[in-house]
């Protein structure tokens, strides 16, 4: 593969793409952040995140579980109770995410400003 940049990883097949596929969606990171506060039940997550549909929350949680980032604990009681929590792997991802979160917090104003400055070609 060609040496197009100074990184050690190959850009063609690098695992970054797979990981971005996971955290790139709208909800995974929010779920991880919420679970950082400790174990949460399904509806606690839903209320905590606020504007996620149960549809997407369920799908997101299932994928995170499949990827070994969160655990799902089902209590066979009625009404059912399900607890979600971070695995060590999930926690480590969250830690790797923190600089990005900090950057977002610090730079969203700059991005907003850049968009305002940007002049689009005047649409007809």
Is the distance from CB of 31 to CB of 64 less than 8 angstroms?
yes
* Cβ partners under 8 Å of residue 72, min gap 6: 61, 65, 82, 83, 84
Q: Please report whether residue 99 would count as binding a copy of itself according to CB under 8 A.
A: yes
In the three-class reduction of DSSP (H, G, I as helix; E, B as strand; rest coil), residue 86 is classed as strand
Among 78, 110, 123, 124, binds a copy of itself (CB under 8 A): 110
Is the CB of residue 66 less than 8 Å from the CB of residue 81?
no
Whichever of 8 and 75 has its CB closer to DNA, that residue is 75
How far out from the chain centre does Cα 76 lie? Answer: 29
Smaller CB distance to a copy of itself: residue 110 or 123? 110
If one asks whether residue 105 binds a copy of itself (CB under 8 A), the answer comes out as yes
The answer to whether residue 66 forms part of the interface with DNA (CB under 7 A) is no
Interface with a copy of itself includes 44 (CB under 8 A)?
yes
Q: Which among 101, 91, 44, 96 has a CA at the least distance from the CA of 64?
A: 91
State yes or no: residue 30 binds DNA (CB under 7 A): no
Residue 91 sits at the vertex; the CA angle it makes with 85 and 93, to the nearest 5 degrees, is 125
Which of DNA, a copy of itself, none does residue 41 bind (CB under 5 to 8 Å by kind)?
Answer: DNA
Chain positions contacting a copy of itself, by CB under 8 A:
2, 4-7, 9, 11-12, 14-26, 29-30, 33-34, 36-37, 44, 47-50, 65-69, 89, 92-93, 95-105, 107-108, 110-111, 113-115, 117-118
């Amino acid at each position: 593969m060609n040496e197009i940049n100074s990184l050690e990883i190959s850009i063609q097949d690098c695992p970054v793409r797979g990981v971005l596929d996971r955290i790139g969606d709208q909800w995974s990171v929010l779920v991880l952040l919420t679970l950082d506060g400790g174990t949460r039940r399904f509806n606690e997550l839903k209320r905590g995140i606020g504007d996620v549909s149960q549809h997407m929350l369920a799908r997101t949680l299932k994928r995170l579980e499949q990827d070994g980032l969160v655990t799902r604990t089902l209590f066979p009681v009625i009404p059912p109770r399900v607890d979600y929590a971070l695995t060590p792997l999930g926690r480590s991802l969250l830690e790797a995410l923190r600089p990005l979160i900090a950057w977002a917090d610090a730079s969203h104003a700059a991005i907003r400003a850049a968009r305002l400055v940007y002049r689009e070609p005047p649409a007809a």
